[in-house]
């Protein structure tokens, strides 16, 4: 392994650009990924190292943009040469861009490191053959503390846990590193290390791991927790140093540690009272937490205004296939409970989930689409996201579909399509991949419409009448704001869908899909 031998050294961590315009593009330029910032914050404490994060999806402040996509890395290397570059591989759809950049930096003589959920199993070999010198397996905070000094000193890497690299064309995977347990000992994420980004929504986290064991998800294992005190400290630091107001708690399931979550909410409520400022939080949470009225009350008082819920599907047989032990009607009632407590509800759905044990839902495609639309309306969901199943590396879903010979060849449909917007495998009969593709657009196209542009004007003029009718300014504002906000987002969603469809047509995916189907059926 090449030795880094300058007096001072620079680590650049890169969040690769999305492959094309998609439904995440709008939010991506307002936030960033938490993992790279957490790793950078650790590395920044190592003597003689300067650290920066470049998020190619958020280059809004004088960022050196490449005319094609992402950042101009030739310019960056001339301006501030990096000795080591780390790549965030948490999103499979960005992997082709990651490899493109890795090969560029490797040609510059830079040591390249990659980590993230994508790098499991055979994908480690793929990475080591695509411009990556070192793959970090699992969590990277402790590994980077050992790895960077070893690169300076030219030490052997065999003693560093949780990495894979090549030595004389032989792949070496070192001893596994156990997951981090002491989060309170880690530094708070330092978002000042993210260059060129204009961050409006700050990602924060208290819990890692999830015990739900969903077949399609890469997040597994016993949940591990930071203390509420440490979590509040991280939020306070961001508020005080970045003047932040909007936060996204990225924990897969908010409220897993119920009593400590309620205690945290009360601490967060008290903090906002002390600084006389109201903060805004979005969380991901289980639908059945609506049954816990004490938790919901504490969340609302703490400034949690939006809940993102994985409804997955309103079709009972599909819920069974995804190990979701709940009925559609109960889901509607629980969703309405969140609304009654004042939460904005963002519904996340998966359309066309493949069934186990040869079980097939024989509903016609039009009926499936209709059931989604009816459910969304009855559940009174404020915003929606409907995606196709993604057989991500390392998931039980991918293993199952590969054994069944249903995953489309990577030569036809590569990693860049693994974002939930494209069919990636042969669906259950009688559905076709083309029907799946068009159905998610039909569902969201019915929800996000051009007409909401005109509804914005209606809501603006309706506010005085609403307050007069209710004789209560606070209640009137709350009802009016929800309607106005949803109209704004639904109009914006219409524009996003138009952009996505334009990008889809330009990608020539339809031809790729036909070729993939031919190759799979041979």
Rounded to an integer, the average pLDDT of 294-306 is 98
Strand, helix or coil for residue 122: coil
| Cα–Cα dist 443/449, whole Å | 11
| Cα–Cα dist 389/419, whole Å | 9
Is the confidence at residue 351, as pLDDT, over 90?
yes
Rounded to an integer, the average pLDDT of 349-378 is 87
- Residue 318: pLDDT band (50, 70, 90) is confident
| Cα–Cα dist 228/223, whole Å | 15
pLDDT, residue 38, reads 98
Rounded to an integer, the average pLDDT of 175-184 is 94
Is the confidence at residue 25, as pLDDT, over 90?
no
Written as six digits, the tokens of 229 are 């005190």
DSSP one-letter string for 138-206 = S--HHHHHHHHHHHHHT--STTSTTEEEEETTEEEE-PPPPPP--GGGSPPP-GGGEES---SEEEE-S
Contact 261, 295 (CB under 8 A): yes
Is the confidence at residue 474, as pLDDT, over 70?
no
Dihedrals phi, psi of 515, to nearest 5 degrees: -65, -40
Contact 443, 351 (CB under 8 A): yes
Q: How many CA atoms lie within 13 A of 221 on its CB side?
A: 12
Contact 419, 16 (CB under 8 A): no
The 10s digit of each residue's pLDDT in 112-139 is 999 999 998 889 999 999 999 999 999 9
pLDDT, residue 189, reads 98
Q: Strands 134-136 and 163-167: what pairing?
A: antiparallel
State the DSSP H helix or E strand holding residue 506, giving kind and residue range, or none if neither. helix 473-506
- Per residue, the 3-state secondary structure of 19-71, as one string, reads CCCCCCHHHHCCCCCHHHHHHHHHHCCCCCEEEEEEECCCCCCCCCECCCCCE
Is the confidence at residue 467, as pLDDT, over 60?
no
pLDDT, residue 504, reads 81
Average pLDDT, the chain: 91
pLDDT, residue 337, reads 97
pLDDT, residue 461, reads 64
Is the confidence at residue 167, as pLDDT, over 60?
yes
Say whether the peptide bond before residue 430 is cis (omega within 30 degrees of 0): yes
pLDDT, residue 505, reads 80
For each of the domains in the chain, give its residue range(s) and CATH number, in order of start: 9-173 (3.40.50.280), 200-447 (3.20.20.70), 448-522 (no CATH)
Contact 132, 86 (CB under 8 A): no
Q: Which residues pair with 307 in a beta bridge?
A: 283, 345
The 10s digit of each residue's pLDDT in 231-282 is 999 999 999 999 999 999 999 989 989 999 999 999 999 999 999 999 999 9
**Assessment of whether the complete model's pTM goes beyond 0.85:** yes
How buried is residue 47: exposed, middle or buried, by Cβ count under 10 Å (0-12/13-18/19+)?
A: exposed
Is the confidence at residue 510, as pLDDT, over 80?
yes
The 10s digit of each residue's pLDDT in 416-429 is 999 999 999 999 87
pLDDT, residue 119, reads 92
Rounded to an integer, the average pLDDT of 389-394 is 95
Is the confidence at residue 482, as pLDDT, over 70?
yes
């Amino acid at each position: 392994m090449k030795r880094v031998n300058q007096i001072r050294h620079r680590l650049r961590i890169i969040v690769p650009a999305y492959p094309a315009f998609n439904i995440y593009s709008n939010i991506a330029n307002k936030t960033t990924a938490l993992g790279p910032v957490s790793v950078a914050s650790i590395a920044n404490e190592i003597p003689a190292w300067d650290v920066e994060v470049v998020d190619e999806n958020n280059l809004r402040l004088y960022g050196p943009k490449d005319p094609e996509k992402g950042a101009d890395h030739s310019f960056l290397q001339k301006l501030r040469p990096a000795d080591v570059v780390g790549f965030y591989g948490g999103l499979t759809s960005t992997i082709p861009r990651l490899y493109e950049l890795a090969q560029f930096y490797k040609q510059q003589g830079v040591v390249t490191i990659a980590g993230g959920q994508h790098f499991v199993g055979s994908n480690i070999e793929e990475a080591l053959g695509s411009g990556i010198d070192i793959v970090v397996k699992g969590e990277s905070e402790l590994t980077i503390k050992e790895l960077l000094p070893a690169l300076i000193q030219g030490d052997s890497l065999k003693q560093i846990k949780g990495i894979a690299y090549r030595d004389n064309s032989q792949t070496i995977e070192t001893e596994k590193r156990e997951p981090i347990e002491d989060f309170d000992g880690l530094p708070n994420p330092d978002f000042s290390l993210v260059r060129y980004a204009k961050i409006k929504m700050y990602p924060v986290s208290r819990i890692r791991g999830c015990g739900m064991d969903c077949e399609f998800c890469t997040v597994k294992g016993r949940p591990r927790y930071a203390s509420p005190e440490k979590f509040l400290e991280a939020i306070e630091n961001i508020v005080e140093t970045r003047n932040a107001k909007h936060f996204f708690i990225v924990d897969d399931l908010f409220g897993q540690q119920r009593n400590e979550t309620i205690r945290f909410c009360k601490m967060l409520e008290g903090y906002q009272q002390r600084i006389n400022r109201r903060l805004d939080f979005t969380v991901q949470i289980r639908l059945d937490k609506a049954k816990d009225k004490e938790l919901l009350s504490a969340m609302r008082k703490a400034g949690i205004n939006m809940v993102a819920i994985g409804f997955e599907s309103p079709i009972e047989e599909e819920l069974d296939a995804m190990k979701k032990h709940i009925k559609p009607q109960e889901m509607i009632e629980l969703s309405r409970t969140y609304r009654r407590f004042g939460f904005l509800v963002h519904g996340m759905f998966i359309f066309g989930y493949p069934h186990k044990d040869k079980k097939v839902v024989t509903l016609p495609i039009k009926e499936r689409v209709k059931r989604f639309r009816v459910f969304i309306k009855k559940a009174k969901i404020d915003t929606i996201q409907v995606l196709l199943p993604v057989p991500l590396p390392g998931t039980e879903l991918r293993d199952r579909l590969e054994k069944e010979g249903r995953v489309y060849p990577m030569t036809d449909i590569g990693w860049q399509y693994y974002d939930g917007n494209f069919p990636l495998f042969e669906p259950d009969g009688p559905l076709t991949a083309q029907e799946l593709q068009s159905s998610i657009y039909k569902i969201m196209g019915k929800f996000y419409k051009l007409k909401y542009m005109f509804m914005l004007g209606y809501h603006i003029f309706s506010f005085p009448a609403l307050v007069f009718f209710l004789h209560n300014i606070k209640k009137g504002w709350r009802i009016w704001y929800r309607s106005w906000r949803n109209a704004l987002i639904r109009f914006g969603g219409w524009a996003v869908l138009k952009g996505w469809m334009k990008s889809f047509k330009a990608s020539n995916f339809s031809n790729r899909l036909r070729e993939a189907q031919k190759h799979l059926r041979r």
